[in-house]
């Protein structure tokens, strides 16, 4: 669960200076600042989404949340594969062994989160989730395609940038809504409470710092592609909540 929480964009640039693994020299540019600004409309749309606000208020239909968790099983399997691919590519790049290890660790944490998701969804329905009976939604498949294709075929900086929305979007709405969340009697409390943890904060800082390091040597065209993929991924995150609400 912690893997999906990303540091708030506000003040992010300053935080990168002390993040473990951050390069000592001053970067040519902090790519994430511009990317986060470009993705701000998507982040705000997610924060306002009835699915998200309903979860934090405890008023969302359980069936809608279970639908989200079921679709997340497909997404998490794919995301773990994409993280592993980028970890392998980073391992072949001089000076990025720490980042490679981080991405590999996040892949394993994603696989662990998948089992937690099965258990939590089953607790909400009162019966074990039958994975064989599930089908991925069009929105899920579209997001999976973007990330898996990017991880394997895009320039490495763009591949890494395409995997960043999952971190960033979750921390954005957690930061905006967590303080006023209704926890008492909330059936989704176990999902809400880990959002914004210290461990998640540190891991997400490292993810963003890795992408910014890769951006330092990227061409203008690759930098633009990185931003496009990041923003697209953020809107895909919104589409997953929209699909769950319509279920």
> Domains in the chain, start-ordered, CATH in brackets?
2-16+29-246 (1.20.910.10)
pLDDT digits (tens, 9 = 90+) for 26-74: 445 689 999 999 999 999 999 999 999 999 999 999 999 999 999 999 9
Tell me which of 23-27, 67-71, 116-120, 168-172 is least confident. Answer: 23-27
**What pLDDT sits at residue 10?**
30
DSSP-derived secondary structure for 36-67: HHHTHHHHHHHHH-HHHHHHHHT-S-HHHHHH
In the chain, the percentage of residues whose pLDDT exceeds 90 is 74
Enter the DSSP assignment of 3. G
pLDDT of residue 152: 98
What pTM did the predictor assign? Answer: 0.86
Whether 137 and 71 have beta carbons less than 8 Å apart is answered as yes
Average pLDDT, the chain: 87
**Mean pLDDT value of segment 87-94:** 96
């Amino acid at each position: 669960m912690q893997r999906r929480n990303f540091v708030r964009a506000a003040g992010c640039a300053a935080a990168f200076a002390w993040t473990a693994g951050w390069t000592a020299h001053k970067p040519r540019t902090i790519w994430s600042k511009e990317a986060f600004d470009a993705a701000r409309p998507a982040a705000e749309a997610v924060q306002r989404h009835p699915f998200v606000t309903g979860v934090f208020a405890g008023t969302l239909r359980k069936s809608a949340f279970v639908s989200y968790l079921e679709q997340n099983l497909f997404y998490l399997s794919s995301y773990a594969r994409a993280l592993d691919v980028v970890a392998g590519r980073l391992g072949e790049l001089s000076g990025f062994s720490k980042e490679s290890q981080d991405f590999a660790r996040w892949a394993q944490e994603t696989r662990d989160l998948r089992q937690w998701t099965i258990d939590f969804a089953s607790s909400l329905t009162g019966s074990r989730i039958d994975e064989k009976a599930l089908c991925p939604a069009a929105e899920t498949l579209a997001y999976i395609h973007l990330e898996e294709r990017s991880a394997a075929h895009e320039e490495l900086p763009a591949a890494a940038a395409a995997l960043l929305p999952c971190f960033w979007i979750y921390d954005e709405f957690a930061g905006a809504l967590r303080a006023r969340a209704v926890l008492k009697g909330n059936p989704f409390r176990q999902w809400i409470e880990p959002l914004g943890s210290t461990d998640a904060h540190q891991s997400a800082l490292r993810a963003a710092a890795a992408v910014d390091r890769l951006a330092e040597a990227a061409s203008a065209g690759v930098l633009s592609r990185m931003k496009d993929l990041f923003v697209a991924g953020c809107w895909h995150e919104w589409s997953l909540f929209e699909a769950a609400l319509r279920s």
